[in-house]
Chain A
Amino acid sequence: MFSAPDSYPIDLPTFHSEINLPYTLTPGRAAGIFLAEVKNRRIVASRFASGQVVAPAQDFSSTNGEEPEAFVEAPQTGVLTAFTRVDGHVIGFIRLDGCDNDFAHRILAELDDIAIGQRVEAEWDDSVEQSVLAIKGFRIAPDAPVGTVKPLETMEEPLGVIPYAMKLDYEHAYGPYYGRMFDEIRENGRFMGVRSPGSDIALLPPREIDDVTHGRTGTWKACADTGTIRGCSIINMEVYGQTRKVPYVYAEIVLDGASTRMIHVIEIDSLEEAKERIKPGTRVRAVWTQGERQGRVSDIERFEVIEG
């Protein structure tokens, strides 16, 4: 495989990519009731047939998988069983009075002021609902009386859906082959692949090992920015994360001089017209973006049909 000399720099620019996703998560019955009940300032726990009480409430026992016999109200006081500090926040495990598990939450105290075994008490945040963070955290309360688990006579309907979102940032390393390809796109506005062994046809994107012969690939070659459609579909539905307005064509295009496909888009006026005009075998050319190139595939703004 590619072996870089020791003098080769390893701290190179990276390719930034983001994944942003909204979710509608289902907490299930037990967690759903717990989250619905925080507005009543109650901590709902599960009591199992064995007598074990687990807070926050769980649908299944982590001892044997059984379902709870009842939902109960756990006290808001307990004992600190572990703690650490993360990002300036102290978090800890709290064994609520009468419960058999450790509840992870924030500890509202400085690290130097707390110790295992200390009594703590929940402090609520009036601005938060439907979240475990409706409990702002647990404060040190040396004199808090020992609470008891109480039956829950009435309870809220479980929340069915919790909105949630993830934003994930990545810094991908290019590696030597993608690195040169994107440098060439940015600096010279051309797509360069590497030749298959014993052939003048380029693999694009370039790679070290040929997929078919498993031999090392050859020298670099500039591909044209014209090519032929191999497969295409007319995108007529709006989906989350889309960057183009529908309808448009999603196309798998083989650039002239290459043997492998790239994915890109072709703008169209209407679906019916595109069905006739754009198909496997249709010749297309790249339309580059105006202004400074970024060294990305999207430096080609779109492809357009070569008429005639």
Chain B
Amino acid sequence: MGRHVGIVGVGQTHHARRRTDVSQAGLVREAVDRALADAKLSMEDIDTVVVATGPVLFAAVNQPEKWVVDAIGAQGKSVVRLTSGGGAGFAGALAGYYQVAGGFSERTLVVAYDKLSEGQLQYSISTLYDPFWGREFAVGIMGFSAAYWRARMDVLGHTEEAAAMVAAKNRKNAIANPYAHVKKEVSVEDVLNSKPLCWPIKLLDVPPISDGAAAIVLSSEKMAHHSTSRPAWIRGMAYCCEADNAPERSLMLSEPLAIASRQVYRAAGITNPRRQFDVVEVQEPYSCFELNYYESLGLCPPGQAADLIASGATQLDGDIPVNPSGGCMGANPIGAVGVIRLIEAATQVMGRNETHQIKDAKTALVQSGGGWANLRGCAVLSA
């Protein structure tokens, strides 16, 4: 077990459908300035930097960290760039966590971003598919996500209504989020009646396409007090992978997430997630994913996700609020989302969430993922 690591400063951009006033590097600068100010630090105080982004094809700049370094004044520092699809931000944070936990850095800045307005999102994601075997029929991430949901619908009861409830909840929560750019309340009926894009996925099950960046400062226990008297301590963090097209690969539970959560819960002493977590932030690129994560994270048994959302337990005033920030429905700059979810959970346990502070939140669960369904991770944060 390594050293204790805390999140001591956070910052994110005001996300938008399209920012034509800043380059990718300028976007990163905004988030970094905010995170450093929040941590009462300057770049001089930072030992190492992790830059995380989605696939290069999203915005056509290869090795963007060399551009980012100029923009954030990180010349001469240890900088690594990391990419892991939609989980890039979370994987970047994990890399930063290892650096501080392992004693190689006292303070590490993790910045994650994507500027999705610049490229062809679904087509870029289709290049994740094997060029020999399936790419020519791929429909980005949406086609396969909908296919998995369709399979879960019959076996696990993840109905269109249940997913619509997730979409309505998260869209409503996003209205108060100062960083979100989609702020419109919709009803369950609105979601159900919205245009099928990749049925069962419909327009209002789908998050926006966004430009945005997010940054966190990770600190050792020794240095944390310089920034805050109440860091969000990382009690456990894991990111696991499953085989791509293995014969036993399940379309039901997310196996890598179930494995990651077992590891993380053991490290953090979580035996009853539903009771022990005060708040949960998940990366739900489509509403159907949130249902899947309820089950894979053990918030309810398999087959009961529809009941959980219907019960109201994951609403703001429920016993286990999920995505009080609005999740991806308010803003979805994909590579940044893992860090955004960490920020939203960290500020909850620090007692200063700007969207919907959950009263007395002490322990928070964060989920993020990349690839299509095969890379999934989670983290536990506590005050």
Binding site for B on A (CB under 8 A): 15, 17, 19, 21-29, 31, 58-66, 158, 160-161, 164, 166, 170, 172, 174, 178, 182, 196, 201, 203, 205, 211-212, 230-237, 239-243, 250-252, 259-265, 271, 275, 279-281, 296-298
Contact assessment for A22 and B120 in the assembled complex, using a CB-CB cutoff below 8 Å: yes
Could you list 26 A-B pairs, sorted by A, with CB under 8 Å?
A21-B119, A26-B23, A28-B25, A59-B22, A59-B71, A65-B73, A178-B133, A211-B246, A212-B247, A231-B251, A232-B147, A233-B145, A233-B147, A233-B198, A234-B199, A235-B198, A236-B195, A236-B198, A241-B120, A250-B139, A250-B146, A250-B198, A260-B245, A275-B199, A279-B154, A280-B154
- Chain A residues with CB under 8 Å of B73's CB are 60-61, 64-66
B118 within 8 A of A: yes
- Chain A residues with CB under 8 Å of B118's CB are 23-26
- Chain B residues with CB under 8 Å of A264's CB are 137
Return the contact of A233 from the options B122, B199, B249 (Cβ within 8 A): B199
Contact assessment for A243 and B136 in the assembled complex, using a CB-CB cutoff below 8 Å: yes
Shortest C-beta distance, A289 to chain B (Å), equals: 13
Return the contact of A235 from the options B133, B139, B243, B251 (Cβ within 8 A): B139
B360 within 8 A of A: no
Shortest C-beta distance, A208 to chain B (Å), equals: 14
Return the contact of A250 from the options B57, B135, B137, B195 (Cβ within 8 A): B137
Contact assessment for A234 and B60 in the assembled complex, using a CB-CB cutoff below 8 Å: no
Shortest C-beta distance, A156 to chain B (Å), equals: 15
Binary CB contact string for chain B from 108 to 137 against chain A (1 if under 8 A, 0 otherwise)? 000000010111101110110111111111
Interface residues of B in 136-159 (CB under 8 A from A): 136-140, 142-151, 154
Shortest C-beta distance, A69 to chain B (Å), equals: 16
B235 within 8 A of A: no
* Contacts known (A233-B200, A236-B195, A239-B122); A29 close to B22, Cβ less than 8 A: yes
B37 within 8 A of A: no
- Chain B residues with CB under 8 Å of A241's CB are 120, 122-123, 126
Contact assessment for A233 and B201 in the assembled complex, using a CB-CB cutoff below 8 Å: yes
Return the contact of B140 from the options A62, A205, A231, A239 (Cβ within 8 A): A239
Return the contact of B131 from the options A166, A170, A265 (Cβ within 8 A): A170
Contact assessment for B123 and A230 in the assembled complex, using a CB-CB cutoff below 8 Å: no
Binary CB contact string for chain B from 277 to 301 against chain A (1 if under 8 A, 0 otherwise)? 0000000000000000000000000
- Chain A residues with CB under 8 Å of B119's CB are 21, 23
Return the contact of B22 from the options A22, A28, A236 (Cβ within 8 A): A28
- Chain A residues with CB under 8 Å of B223's CB are none
* Contacts known (A65-B70, A212-B247, A260-B247); A59 close to B23, Cβ less than 8 A: yes
Contact assessment for B248 and A212 in the assembled complex, using a CB-CB cutoff below 8 Å: yes
Contact assessment for B199 and A172 in the assembled complex, using a CB-CB cutoff below 8 Å: no
Contact assessment for A205 and B150 in the assembled complex, using a CB-CB cutoff below 8 Å: no
- Chain B residues with CB under 8 Å of A182's CB are 132
Return the contact of B146 from the options A24, A233, A275, A296 (Cβ within 8 A): A233
- Chain A residues with CB under 8 Å of B122's CB are 239-241
Return the contact of A15 from the options B20, B131, B134 (Cβ within 8 A): B131
Residue of A nearest to B143 (CB): A250
Shortest C-beta distance, A27 to chain B (Å), equals: 6
- Chain B residues with CB under 8 Å of A263's CB are 129, 133-134, 137-138, 144
Contact assessment for B126 and A166 in the assembled complex, using a CB-CB cutoff below 8 Å: no
Return the contact of B132 from the options A19, A205, A250 (Cβ within 8 A): A205
Contact assessment for A205 and B198 in the assembled complex, using a CB-CB cutoff below 8 Å: no
- Chain A residues with CB under 8 Å of B133's CB are 178, 205, 262-263, 297
B64 within 8 A of A: no
Alpha-carbon distance between A174 and B25 when the two chains are bound, in angstroms: 38
Residue of A nearest to B19 (CB): A26
Shortest C-beta distance, B144 to chain A (Å), equals: 7
Alpha-carbon distance between A262 and B122 when the two chains are bound, in angstroms: 20
In order of increasing CB-CB distance, the 4 nearest A-B pairs are: A65-B73, A28-B23, A160-B20, A233-B146
